[in-house]
Every structure is written in structure tokens, then in C-alpha cells.
Structure 1
Amino acid sequence: RVIDACVAEMPGGGWRLWYNNERDGGIVIRSGAATNFNAIDPALLRDREGRLWMSFGSYWSGLKLVELDPATGRLLRPEAAPHALAHDRSIEAAFIHQRGDQFYLFGSYGWCCRGINSTYHIRVGRSAAITGPYRDRDGRALLEGGGTLVLASEGPFIGPGHPSIMAIDGREWFGCHFYDATQRGRPTYALRPLGWDAEGWPLVGKWSTSL
């Protein structure tokens, strides 16, 4: 498996491989028999110092992190092993959010892609460094199976996963997909309002917008 880099002039489309004049196309990182990580489910974060990071991973040895060259999108240190962020029997689809002096690592746990039988749910941990170690609200390391529950199945909203955070008109929203039990498990994307408690942990509001 590989993670590619594509670019477009506008968010609406016209995507093309970033390195389309090179033999390896748009490959950023590759996994295979010689690696202990699974190169899928990428998510990018440019931190406040301007450094560009990519989290990724699914099952295998868990969630990983690499630093990219902001000018090229390629691995900044291709010889270095990815940083290990979190591990569990079933974990994938990482997303890292920087807030204040903390980095928050969200991950999707359980089984996806089974419609209304999906067990996907989202957990979080945080760290003062983007490379970790990440710990949950109770101090458990995410590399040792920890993770504070953020969002799980609720009524007809089954198996939320693949989290993201966006700001719209100064308000933060939590995005994820789920399986709609009222539509025979149809995959659906939703936005929910995002807040933070007094101790700095995320609070996801009521289901708001389905797309």
C-alpha cells in the first residue's frame, strides 16, 4: 500500500499527482512485507512553527507519524522510522489537532464498513509534543491501549469514525462519518459542534448536520 500526494488549483477538484514527472508518481510512503506499519488513512497538520506532519496507519502496529518537507511533500527524513503514536487491536484513521500547548490525537477504534453492525468509535489522548507520548484523561498511554471516549454509536448514528476538526466562521466543528440506521446503514458524513471542558478535553455536541 502507498500514500500518494495530489495537488489541485481549487478544492473542488482537478487533482493530479504532485510528482507526476517522476517514476514513482506521487508516492509519499509505502508499506509492505518489510514494514510494520500500514500506509493508509493519512492526515496532515502544519504546526505553529510551520513544520508539516502526516499521521497515518491502520491495524498492524498502530498509528504512526512522519514529518514532511513543506516545500515538496516528501518525507523530510526518509531513513528514519515513523514515530509510534497509539496501538490497539483495531485502530486506524488518526487525526491530530493542536490547541494551546497540547496536541490531541484522535483515533478510530473497532470495526468499520459493516453498516449497522459497525463497532467504530472515536477516542482521544493528548501530549505536549506532537510525537507523543499521548495519554488519555486517566493517564493511560495510547500506546498501551488507552484512549478517552469521544464519540460512539448513538441512536441511528452507528459507528462514527475518521474524525476531523474544522473552524467555520470562528466556530469549531467535529467531522466524522457514520452509518445511518434509518437508511439501511448508508455511509453518511456529519458535522457536530465542538467544545472543550475546563480540563481541556474535547466535548462533541449533538448531531447537527449530515452531508
Structure 2
Amino acid sequence: MSDPTATAPEPGERIPDAPLFRDPMHDGATDPTVVWNAEAGEWWMFYTQRRADAPGPGFGWVHGTDLGIASSRDGGRSWLYRGTARGLEHQPGRNTFWAPEVIRHGDTYHAYVSYITGVPHAWVGDRHILHYTSADLWDWTLASRLELSSDRVIDAAVWPLPEGGWRMWYKDEADGSSIHAADSPDLYSWTPTGPVLTDRAQEGPSVFSLGGWYWLVTDVWAGMAVHRSDDLRTWHRQAEPLLDAPGRRPGDDAVGNHGMCLAQDEEGYLVYFTSPGGDRPTRVQVAELTVVDGVLRCDRDAPFAMDWRPERTVALRGGDLPD
């Protein structure tokens, strides 16, 4: 519940849209992630473009999906649909692409994408994480299929390790939908390091740094579970989840699902999606994050202004990764 004494930003302050974004093609934008497009001078959002309007049996409408792209020139407050990522197909026919993780290192953008062959009507079939590279965020080239802990892996999240190299967190459905990790010295070769979170089924990990701590936020289908660490290895689950009760903004009247967290200096933001009424159409939303006495909090109804800038971004999203 929001603070009843909080005052709304004054007219002219930089208030983000609510909903932040809706996909104009199929109305099924989910699993959003944002990255600074240095060449265009814009923030870009990549997302799973669910086919909420698709006929047919079962869960075919959540498969056969492209990766949608939207752009923002006003610090993330409003978004324009731009199309879909190109060059992802590497098998014939219609296939499924989910949950992009997009980062930049040097002059290269890297995308780690969940992939399923074909358009299944049920939750069946192998799932793999594919690694793509790009020079412009439009056109992508397949680098490899990652060999991880099983053939049922999705939802990659990547963050640099303090001693060098990178760690990836992902969901392993073959291990009770727990969160596993893998390490890489170069963003190309990855070695599984084992399970990280095994206390419950969960998905959609997002890792970031805010308020002097590392945070790992996961989707538990009843809001977001929060885990805190000081070394990116040992995680302690926070008692209070995030977004576990519906909000009051337009299109925010449902629990929050699979999102990503963006830190701007000492400010934090959670970009997530909702399915109001449990229906197929979805909404992308953004809410402010704060750290109070070592606890990560998110009051989705509280008024806030927002102006993302690449030079203020903490690691990964607003510029080059560390060498």
C-alpha cells in the first residue's frame, strides 16, 4: 500500500506512462528487458511477443513467438514499437523465442535467448539458451547453443563477477524449476556451476546492485521473491516479496511477473509485466525500488519521476561491461 502522505510529482515532472508499454501487434508483451542503444542514443526494450490474439488449442499462443523491440528517447518514460529482432531463426519453420537477456561489451551486443523448436500446444519439448551477437541490436548472428545443466533451461540473467568474468543465472525445469548458475571468462564459453536457489519453483531471475548489496529477484507466480548477497554466491531470501498484491494504476491490477531491474546510481527500477484479470493480454509496467535497512522494497502505487541515463547505469545496461 502506498504512503498516504506521499505527494504526486508536480506537473511537468518526468512521470512514466502507466501502463509503460503494450504490444500493438498481439497485445502480449512479456519478460521485458532494457538496454541502452549507444548507436541510436535510445533505450531499447526487448520482450517476448506473446500471440495473445492467436486461435488454436492449449498453449500454442505462448509459443511461436518473436522477440519484440520498443524504443524510448525520453529516459524510459514512454515507448514506441519498432518491430522484431532479425536473424534469430536457425532452423526451418516457425519456432519459439522467449525471455531475452541483452547486454553490451565493447562494440558487441550479446543476447541470451530461450529457444523451443516449433509451436507446441503444451508445456513440452526441450528448451535451450542460445547466444547471439549483434553490432546494432537489429540484426543478430547465432554464436552457440549453451551446454548447461539440462535440456530444459530458460530465462538467462548475466552479471559481472567482482574478480573478473561473468555469471549467468537461469531456470532449470528438469531440476524442479530451480535456479542454476554458469560462469564464463568471455561471454562465449559457459561452465555450469550448479544450483543456486532450490527452496521453491521459480523463474525469470534478474540480478543487479543497489544500496550496497547484490539482489536476485525471481518470479514465483505470486509476485517476486527477493534474495540478497554481498558476493553473488551466497543468497539469503528476504521475507517480504515484491508485487504480490495488485496495484491501482491502469493495467497494474494483478501480481507482477517476470521482469528486470535497472539501477541508476542509487535509484532502482523494476520493469515487469501484468496480466490483468488473468487474461491473455498483458501490460508492461515500471515501479521504483528502494533499499531500507537492508530490505528491498517496491511500492507500485507510490508516485515517482524517472529519467534513465546511460552514464548513471550501474553495470551492464548503460555501457560497456568491465574488462
TM-score normalised per structure 2: 0.45
1:152 aligns with 2:198: yes
Which residue in 1 is equivalent to 2:144? Answer: 83
Q: Quick one: distance in 1 between partners of 2:235 and 2:94?
A: 33
Q: Quick one: distance in 1 between partners of 2:188 and 2:94?
A: 18
Q: Quick one: distance in 1 between partners of 2:208 and 2:109?
A: 17
Q: Quick one: distance in 1 between partners of 2:95 and 2:146?
A: 12
Deviations 1:68-92 (A, max 9, x none): 22xx3223xx4x4332223423211
1:119 aligns with 2:176: yes
Kindly provide the amino acid, as one letter, of the partner of residue 41 in structure 1: A
Kindly provide the amino acid, as one letter, of the partner of residue 89 in structure 1: D
Which of 101, 108, 114 is the equivalent residue of 1:57?
114
**Structure 1 residue 61: Cα displacement:** 5.7
Structure 1: which 5+ residue stretches go unaligned? 19-24, 112-117, 137-147, 180-186
Which residue in 2 is equivalent to 1:144? Answer: none
RMSD value, Cα: 2.8
Which of 224, 233, 256 is the equivalent residue of 1:189?
224
The 1:86/1:11 distance shift into structure 2, 3 A limit, reads farther
Contact persistence 1:45–1:54 (CA under 8 A): yes
**Structure 1 residue 26: Cα displacement:** 3.1
Which residue in 2 is equivalent to 1:11? Answer: 76
**Structure 1 residue 37: Cα displacement:** 7.2
Contact persistence 1:85–1:134 (CA under 8 A): no
* Aligned counterparts, 1:1-211, within 5 A: 1-8=65-72, 9-12=74-77, 14-18=78-82, 25-31=83-89, 34=92, 38-47=96-105, 49=106, 51-59=108-116, 60=126, 62-69=128-135, 72-75=136-139, 78=140, 80-87=141-148, 88-99=150-161, 100-110=163-173, 119-136=176-193, 148-153=194-199, 158-179=200-221, 187-196=222-231, 202-211=233-242
**Structure 1 residue 6: Cα displacement:** 1.1
Contact persistence 1:92–1:107 (CA under 8 A): yes
Q: Quick one: distance in 2 between partners of 1:50 and 1:169?
A: 29
Structure 2: which 5+ residue stretches go unaligned? 1-64, 117-125, 243-323
The 1:135/1:190 distance shift into structure 2, 3 A limit, reads closer
Which residue in 2 is equivalent to 1:184? Answer: none
Contact persistence 2:167–2:182 (CA under 8 A): yes
Q: Quick one: distance in 2 between partners of 1:84 and 1:35?
A: 18
**Structure 1 residue 170: Cα displacement:** 3.3
SS at match of 2:223: strand
Identity %: 10
Q: Quick one: distance in 2 between partners of 1:35 and 1:202?
A: 40
Higher gyration radius (CA): 2
Question: Relative contact order: is structure 1 or structure 2 higher (C-alpha 8 Å, sep ≥ 6)?
Answer: 2
